[in-house]
Structures are given as structure tokens and as C-alpha cells.
Amino acid sequence: MKSLKTIILTGATGFLGSHLLRMFLAQGHKVIILKRHNSNLSRIDDLMGRVAAYDWDAMDVEQAFKEQGKVDAIVHTATCYGRQEESATTVFESNVGLPLKLLESAAFFNTDTFFNTDTILYEYLNFYALSKKHFKDWGMLFARMEKIRFVNIKLENMYGPGDAESKFTTHVIKSCLTNVPYLDLTAGEQKRDFVFIDDVVSAYGILLQKVDSQPGLFQEYGIGTGKAVSIREFVETVHQISHSQTRLNFGALPYRNHEIMYSVADTATLQSLGWSCQVDLQDGIRRTIEKERTL
């Protein structure tokens, strides 16, 4: 029988966070969400009556711990990529300031496990990359001091229906579905590990269930398929499955400076806990396209 937990979840209004919230509630866990006061609740509006919600930008986060009692796990998925030209201060506040407050409060209130999502992104998003590195260092320090169990999750290129339109995968899928005249792309030789949202959520479920029994107070897990495919293959698969008339202009765009040419998850440790990827690339793209057509 699975033990029920009290979970603090950040980023619940986002793509990944909203899927995790639905899973946690379906499993019977008590969930407390931390959000911005002006967050768009469209993804979770039907769930708000089943959670305790706090606006972290308008309160002291310790209030949630004091009012809700013992918390078993914090799952931190809220992030700011800086894609919308947010200031370095804003990026720092979301990616270091908030989770560090949670770390300090969690250690003080004796929370068992802190899950931190570290999305793999291009180096040109330097504010994001730097802030995530800083917070991982803080987490490692707290673990060494035996204040908390800290789990760093290295998430590869997640995709699925309803993801943000600013994401490359969503942009390609919607462009092909709407048959835009052409899509300018790089040569597409970069290789990425594209992992479907359902597999990501199931990985978090396994970690929540089993991670406290694993050795070491600092742990790191990769979430992905464990297979890298080229950007070109991803785009061409979307184009084929959607029967798109869009012209694909590979090579029309140059690679970015410091372009990551190969990225893939090491899933061995996660698989040792009983997790396995269930959705291959073609099936994931097909599911995404079918759902996007109805949105």
C-alpha cells in the first residue's frame, strides 16, 4: 500500500506542474501549491477546491509550513527561463530566491525530501543556467549538512499537448498543423532526448514513492528516453504524421553560438527503481497532434 504524503508543489500552473498536481491528487496525496498572485490558473482551475494555495510573492513561505503541519516532500518545478527578456533579478528570484527560502523553511520544519527540476536548455539562456547551477550547489550543501534529502532531476526535452507555445516542439507541431507556408530551421543535426509528458510524470511518481529509501542525502536522476534523435528527425516525423503542407527549410537558420549538439538522459539509476519509458517518439508525437487538433 502506498503511503500518502503531504506535498508542497511549486509551478502547479505550468505544463509539468499541472500534470504532477493531477497525479498527486489522483493518488490521494495532500497537496499545497505555491503560486504567484497573478498566476494563470486555466490548467488547474478545476482542481483549486482540492488544494491549499498560497501566493509566495505576497507572503512569507513559512506560513504554509506553520498552517499545514508536517510536509513530507517539496516538488519544485516553478522556473523562469528568461525567454521573455526577464531581468536577471527576476530569473534569480524564481530559480534561486524562492527555492532557497523553501530549503531553509523545509530544513527548519524537518521536511524529508526536496525535488528540484533542472531542465536541460541551451547555454545561451545564461541567466537560467547560472541560477539553476547556483541552486543545485545550495541543495548539495544542505544535503552535506544533513539538513534535508535533496534530489536533483535533470529533465531532457519534455513535450506533449498543451505545452507552452514558446517551446520549440510546440512551435513545430502547431506550425505543421496549421500548414504555415514555410518553417525556417537550422540544419537540424543537433541530437536531443525527446520525452513525452506521461513518462515524465510517471518518473516523478516512482521517485516520490522510492527515493527516501535510496542511499545518500544528495541524489541526481536523469529523465528522458535514453535515446537521442536529431532535430531534423523530430521535425520530419511531426511533418509526416500531421500530413502537413508546410515547407521545411532546413539550413535556413544558423546554429546558435555554443549550440548543444548532443544531449541525452542517463536513465540507469531511475530504471533501477523500476521506471521505464513507455512512449516512443512516433507515439508521443501522434498523441500530441491528436490532442492539439481538439484544443
Catalytic positions are: 128
Q: CA-to-CA distance for 238 and 173, rounded, in angstroms?
A: 6
Q: CA-to-CA distance for 236 and 241, rounded, in angstroms?
A: 9
Secondary structure (DSSP) of 192-220: E-EEEHHHHHHHHHHHHHHGGGSSSSEEE
Note whether 122 and 260 are within 8 A (CB).
Answer: yes
The β-bridge relationship of strands 157-159 and 194-196 is parallel
Note whether 93 and 29 are within 8 A (CB).
Answer: no
Surface-to-core class of residue 295, CB atoms within 10 Å of its CB (0-12 exposed, 13-18 middle, 19+ buried): exposed
Q: Which of 222, 194, 190, 228 is nearest to 207 (CA)?
A: 222
Q: Which of 28, 24, 26 is nearest to 11 (CA)?
A: 24
The residues, ordered by sequence, that sit 6+ positions from 278 with a Cβ below 8 Å of its Cβ are 198, 199, 202
Helix, strand, or coil (residue 140): helix
Q: CA-to-CA distance for 144 and 216, rounded, in angstroms?
A: 9
